Amino acid sequence: MKFDKKEIENAKMPDFSARRMAVEFDSPITPRENLKLAFQKKQLWMPSASDKGWFCPHIIPDNPARAFVIQGAKYDGPVGGNDMFGIYWEYVPSARGSIVRPGNPTLTDITKWKEVIKFPDVDSWDWEGSARDNKDFLVNSTRYQNVCIFTGWFERLISFMDFGPAAFALMNRKTKDYVKELMDALSDLWIDVVDHCAKYYGHDFDGFTFHDDWGAQDGPFFHERVVREMLVPYMRKVTDHVHELGYTCDLHSCGSIDRLVPCIIEAGWDFWDGMAINDYHTLYEQYGDKLIMSAPGTECPKDASPEEQKAYAAKYAEEYGDRLRPALVSNYDKPGVDFQIELYRILREKYSEEDD
């Protein structure tokens, strides 16, 4: 589709006070459709990290428990509380999130997990009501909608056992087979949730985001050897199933985990939503053709003049605008309006010429 200057002239400017950072261009397709095209390496412009949205319906008990209900239907119920396993999450207002208060874990002996951990009855959640109430929200969204599973594999083990015992169980030769059984059972549960989403929301949404933090600011929690043995196969079981159903897989994993990116790819994730502390420049060079990541920060100073912003955008487009290696414009450093407009123009024109 040919670029038309009106796409920029008619654009809707950001409202930083409303935390809407991205310029909304009058594009021939929506950002959601553009991101879908990125999987075929046919995107019309460089997508932004903010083109992805989380769909967190309240019927999945983890979402209110973790204080993340994002849906079309109004939700004014409580936040914090029991997750789908009956584990209590304490809402911390200052952090605007929830945490399982450590010190009194539900599972103290991993060998007893089958007796202690009660898996949820996914059928009992009000899927029909949620599908009905969120139909318009999902269908009309211009953002790529991912259903969120907030507590993945290792994070779930932490919620059962506390961090230290969970990490020890995962690494200990005498207990890791029990952990593997539990990880496999969690994968079966996620597949059940995925199947319910597919059945009730159909293709009104686009994919799944699973949260599983693998590191802290100073590095990963585990060596890749541990991650490959204890987490990757169980994730792969789910990502393969999701792909068979025609959806995409997004991993939200915090921490400085550059060296685990090969594990993320092996586990079948299409997107990785990580933190700015990772070396995205090197990661893009190494893995940009295998995984859609946020590109590095724009490096454009906040007080840059419009001309300077345009120059930064040209450099950014040169470095990260390869259509065959799609990346997402990072929002970490809140790119300025002139930067966004210039980046859009450059790559919209470039890709349009490539299609001719």
Partner 1 sequence: MDFEKLAQAMGDLDEDTVVEMLEAVMEDGGSEADKAMEACQKGMELVGNLFEEGEYFVGDLIYAGELMTQAVEILTPALVGSDSSGPKTKMILCTVKDDLHDIGKNIVRAMLEAAGFDVVDLGIDVEPEKVVEVAKEQNIKIVALSGVLTLALDSMKDTVDAIRKAGLDCKIIIGGAPVSEEACAAMGADEWAHSPQKTINVCKAWAAELA
Where along the sequence are the contacts to partner 1 (CB under 8 A)? 90, 92, 94-95, 99, 101-103, 162-164, 167-168, 170-173, 215-223, 226
Least distance between partner 1 and beta carbon 95 (Å): 6
- Round to whole Å and give the CA distance between 68 and 80: 9
Mode of pairing for the β-strands spanning 292-293 and 271-273: parallel
Are the C-beta atoms of 230 and 186 separated by less than 8 Å?
no
- Round to whole Å and give the CA distance between 179 and 171: 9
DSSP state of 180: H
Least distance between partner 1 and beta carbon 226 (Å): 7
The smaller minimum CB distance to partner 1, of residues 99 and 116, is found at 99
The smaller minimum CB distance to partner 1, of residues 64 and 105, is found at 105
DSSP state of 259: G
Least distance between partner 1 and beta carbon 178 (Å): 16
Are the C-beta atoms of 171 and 101 separated by less than 8 Å?
no
- β partners of residue 89: 81
The smaller minimum CB distance to partner 1, of residues 162 and 206, is found at 162
336: tokens are: 């300025």
Least distance between partner 1 and beta carbon 155 (Å): 12
The smaller minimum CB distance to partner 1, of residues 106 and 142, is found at 106
Least distance between partner 1 and beta carbon 150 (Å): 17
Least distance between partner 1 and beta carbon 187 (Å): 21
Length, in residues, of the chain? 356
Residue 287's H or E segment, with its range, is helix 280-287
The smaller minimum CB distance to partner 1, of residues 99 and 245, is found at 99
Least distance between partner 1 and beta carbon 90 (Å): 7
- Round to whole Å and give the CA distance between 148 and 333: 25
Sorted by sequence, the CB contacts under 8 Å of residue 324 that are 6+ apart come out as: 41, 289
The smaller minimum CB distance to partner 1, of residues 1 and 99, is found at 99
The smaller minimum CB distance to partner 1, of residues 39 and 91, is found at 91
Are the C-beta atoms of 143 and 51 separated by less than 8 Å?
yes
The smaller minimum CB distance to partner 1, of residues 119 and 168, is found at 168
Inter-CA distances, 126 with 129, 131, 186, Å: 5, 9, 21
Judge residue 243's burial from the number of C-beta atoms within 10 Å of its C-beta, 0-12 exposed, 13-18 middle, 19 or more buried: middle
Least distance between partner 1 and beta carbon 332 (Å): 16
Residues 353, 43, 323, 296: what is their CA dihedral angle, to the nearest 10 degrees? 130
